[in-house]
């Protein structure tokens, strides 16, 4: 049998894992998944078979999967591998490529998440760094403001078009085809954010079409997660503080709660399907909990306040 080919259970099944992946992605695309999610499926499945090209064979896939999942990884990354690969193999079983799902019975690992507590001074210094005399700096500044104002996901922000901003009503629309949850949501924005986005739009090249995203490169090409990550890494070095794209979203969520926002409001703003997911972003410190408990304790109303007289020396 040729290298890389599967021992077919049915004669019409894909001959290679690459062919199987393309069919799987087309099937997933029919389920109306976002481009970002499809990209993640492609990345995780490709990574597995790159490590274990012989795994596209019913007799060898089990051991390859066990070795791959046994590799040291954070709970978050382990869970991502499990989610994407398990879905691919479930489809492959239905297509007759494999007799069983090698990840059947695997469970997610408990992930407490990491507390991202970026202080206000650091965020203010970050906002002062972009050179707004350049298009890239103007874009970075506007994207920082939009993130701190709405907690928008980076990939959702990269997909925004000029028409998605309503400056009269001070709101931005994340269309369902670009939202991770596949549900449209309309988010309010502050005037300072609207003004920054207006300035960015005014700096666009007149030859750019409406299909060019608002947050793009100076050449009019779409901004990517890698490009944005590199930009934030550059600013991080200047700040002397480690930051990454999702750290800004975390900072928004934590500050939102500290400023008196409600969890349900935060859930809707962040675009989470469940409240449990939202709470992962709200990792309040012990100092926060102590302050909130002191202010909200029923004992403040049940017991009279005592005013003690100081002892004379």
pLDDT higher than threshold 80 for residue 11: no
Q: Are residues 178 and 242 in the same domain?
A: yes
- 37 lies in the same domain as 78: yes
Residue burial 277-310, b: 16+ Cβ < 10 Å; e: rest: ebbebbbbeeeeeeeeeeeeeeeeeeeeeeeeee
Span 183-194, pLDDT tens digits: 899 999 999 999
* Structure tokens that stand for 6 in this block: 């599967």
pLDDT grade for 137, boundaries at 50, 70 and 90: very high
On whether residue 208 sits in a domain, the answer given is: yes
- 124: Cβ–Cβ under 8 A, 6 or more apart, which residues? none
Extract the tokens encoding 181.
């949850």
Mean pLDDT, range 274-295, rounded to an integer: 65
In the predicted structure, residue 297 carries a pLDDT above the cut 90: no
Distance CA 98, CA 90 (A): 9
In this structure, the number of other CB atoms found within 10 A of the CB of residue 141 comes to 21
Of 96-100, 154-158, 223-227, 270-274, which gets the smallest average pLDDT?
270-274
For residue 48, tell me if it sits in a domain.
yes
**pLDDT tens digits along 222-256:** 998 889 999 999 999 999 999 988 889 888 888 88
In a domain, 101, yes or no: no
Domains identified in the chain, total number: 2
Q: At what angle do helices 225-239 and 245-258 cross, to 10 degrees?
A: 70
Q: Residue 58 carries which DSSP code?
A: T
- Please indicate, yes or no, whether residues 58 and 146 belong to a single structural domain of this protein: no
For residue 6, pLDDT beyond 50: no
Which residues, in sequence order, are CB contacts of 185 under 8 Å at separation 6+?
A: 173, 174, 179, 268, 269, 271
- Dihedral over alpha carbons 293, 295, 300, 301 (to 10 degrees): -110
Residue 132, pLDDT above cutoff 50 = yes
For residue 261, the 8-state DSSP code is: -
Q: Which domain holds residue 176?
A: 125-246
Alpha helices in the chain (DSSP H): 17-29, 35-51, 61-70, 75-94, 120-128, 135-150, 154-158, 191-202, 225-239, 245-258, 263-270, 275-281, 286-296, 299-302
Separation of alpha carbons 174 and 164, rounded Å: 7
Dump pLDDT digits (tens) for 27-43. Answer: 998 877 777 788 889 99
Residue 4 lies in a domain: no
> Could you tell me the CATH number of the domain that includes residue 205?
1.10.443.10
Per-residue pLDDT tens digits for 47-71? 999 999 999 999 999 999 999 999 9
Share of the chain above pLDDT 70, in %: 86
CATH of the domain at 64: 1.10.150
Confidence (pLDDT) at 225: 86
Q: Please list the residues that pair with 127 across neighbouring strands.
A: none
Residues 135, 159, 169, CA angle at the centre, nearest 5°?
A: 85
The answer to whether 152 and 174 have CB atoms below 8 angstroms apart is yes
Rounded to the nearest angstrom, the gap between the alpha carbon of residue 154 and the centroid of all alpha carbons in its chain is 7
Same domain, 33 and 84: yes
């Amino acid at each position: 049998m040729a290298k890389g080919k599967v021992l077919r259970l049915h004669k019409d099944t894909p001959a290679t894992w690459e062919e199987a992946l393309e069919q799987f992605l087309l099937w997933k695309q029919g389920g109306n998944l976002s481009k970002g999610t499809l990209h993640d499926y492609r990345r995780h499945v490709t990574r597995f078979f790159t490590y274990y090209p012989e795994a596209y064979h019913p007799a060898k896939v089990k051991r390859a999967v066990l070795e791959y999942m046994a590799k040291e990884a954070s709970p978050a990354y382990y869970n991502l591998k499990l989610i994407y690969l398990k879905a691919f193999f479930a489809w492959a079983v239905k297509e007759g490529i494999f007799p069983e799902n090698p990840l059947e019975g695997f469970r997610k690992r408990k992930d407490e998440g990491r507390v991202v507590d970026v202080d206000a001074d650091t965020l203010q210094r970050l906002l002062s760094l972009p050179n707004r005399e350049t298009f890239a700096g103007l874009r970075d500044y506007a994207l920082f403001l939009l993130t701190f104002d709405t907690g928008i996901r980076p990939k959702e922000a990269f997909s925004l078009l000029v028409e998605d901003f309503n400056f009269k009503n001070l709101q931005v629309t994340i269309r369902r085809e670009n939202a991770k949850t596949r549900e449209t949501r309309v988010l309010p924005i502050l005037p300072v954010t609207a003004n920054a986005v207006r300035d960015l739009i005014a700096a666009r090249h007149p030859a750019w079409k409406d299909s060019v995203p608002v947050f793009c490169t100076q050449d009019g090409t779409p901004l990517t997660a890698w490009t944005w990550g590199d930009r934030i890494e550059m600013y991080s070095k200047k700040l002397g503080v480690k930051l990454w794209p999702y750290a800004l979203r975390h900072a928004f969520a934590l500050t939102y709660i500290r400023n008196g926002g409600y969890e349900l409001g935060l859930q809707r703003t962040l675009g989470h399907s469940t409240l449990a997911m939202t709470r992962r972003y709200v990792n309040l410190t012990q100092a926060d909990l102590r302050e909130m408990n002191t202010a909200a304790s029923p004992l403040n109303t049940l017991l009279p306040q005592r005013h003690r007289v100081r002892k004379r020396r």
